[in-house]
Amino acid sequence: MPLAHRTPTVGVTRRMPFDTDADLVVGPVFEDDRPAELRILHEATGGTVERAWQRGEFTGKLFDVLVTPVGTTGQRALFVGAGLRKDLTADHVRRMAIVGTLAARSRRITRVALGGWDRAVEAIAARTPDRASAVADAVLQACVEGIVLANFEGGNYKTDNNLRPMVEAVELCPVDNTAAVRAAIDRALVLGEASNRARELANEPGNSLTPRVFADRARAMARQAGLGVEVLDEKQIAALNMGMLVGVARGSHEPPRLVVLRHEPANAVPGVTLALVGKGVTFDTGGISIKPAENMDKMKDDMSGGAAVIGAMTAIAKLEAPVRCLGIVPMTENMPGGQAVKPGDILTSAEGKTVEILNTDAEGRLILGDALWYARQLGATHLVDVATLTGACVVALGKTTSGLFGTPDRWVDEVRRASELAGDRSWPMPVHDDYKEQLRSEIADFTNTGGRAGGAITAALFLKEFTGDLPWVHIDIAGTAWAEEARPYQPKGPTGVAVRTLAQLALAAESWATVTFER
Q: Annotated catalytic, 164? A: no
pLDDT above 90: residue 220 = yes
What does the DSSP assignment read for 364-433?
Answer: HHHHHHHHHHHHHHTT-SEEEEEE---HHHHHHHTTS-EEEEEESHHHHHHHHHHHHHHT--EEE----G
Check residue 156 and give its pLDDT.
81
H/E element, 143: helix 132-150
> Out of 134-138, 167-171, 429-433, 482-486, which region has the weakest mean confidence (pLDDT)?
134-138
Q: Given this chain, do its domains 9-196 and 213-512 carry the same CATH topology?
A: no
Cα(484)–Cα(493) distance, rounded to whole angstroms? 6
H/E element, 142: helix 132-150
Cα(448)–Cα(366) distance, rounded to whole angstroms? 7
Check residue 2 and give its pLDDT.
60
Instruction: Catalytic residue, from 291, 298, 376, 399: name it.
Output: 291
Check residue 33 and give its pLDDT.
84
pLDDT classification of 163: cutoffs 50, 70, 90? confident
pLDDT above 90: residue 352 = yes
CA 200, 202, 207 angle in degrees (round to 5)? 100
pLDDT classification of 161: cutoffs 50, 70, 90? low
pLDDT above 60: residue 407 = yes
pLDDT digit string, tens, across residues 418-462: 999 999 999 999 999 999 999 999 999 999 999 999 999 999 999
Average pLDDT for 307-331: 98
Q: In this structure, which topology does domain 213-512 adopt according to CATH? A: Aminopeptidase (3.40.630)
Instruction: Catalytic residue, from 105, 187, 219, 365: name it.
Output: 365
Check residue 514 and give its pLDDT.
84
Check residue 127 and give its pLDDT.
86
Neighbouring residues of 343: CB distance < 8 A, sequence distance ≥ 6: 288, 289, 357, 358, 359, 360
pLDDT above 90: residue 116 = no
What does the DSSP assignment read for 14-25?
Answer: SS-GGGS--SEE
pLDDT digit string, tens, across residues 133-152: 888 899 999 999 999 999 99
| CATH no., domain 9-196 | 3.40.220.10
pLDDT above 80: residue 84 = yes
**Partners of 328 in beta bridges:** 260, 277
**Partners of 171 in beta bridges:** 11, 113
Cα–Cα distances (Å) from 515 to 132, 268, 381, 411, 470, in that order, read 27, 16, 12, 9, 13
Cα(296)–Cα(385) distance, rounded to whole angstroms? 24
CA 509, 192, 484 angle in degrees (round to 5)? 110
H/E element, 446: strand 446-447
Residue 456 has a CB neighbour count (10 Å cut-off) of 23
Q: Annotated catalytic, 61? A: no
Angle between helices 132-150 and 90-106 (to 10 degrees): 30
Domains of the chain, residue spans: 9-196, 213-512
Cα(237)–Cα(240) distance, rounded to whole angstroms? 5
pLDDT cut 70: percent of the chain above it: 98
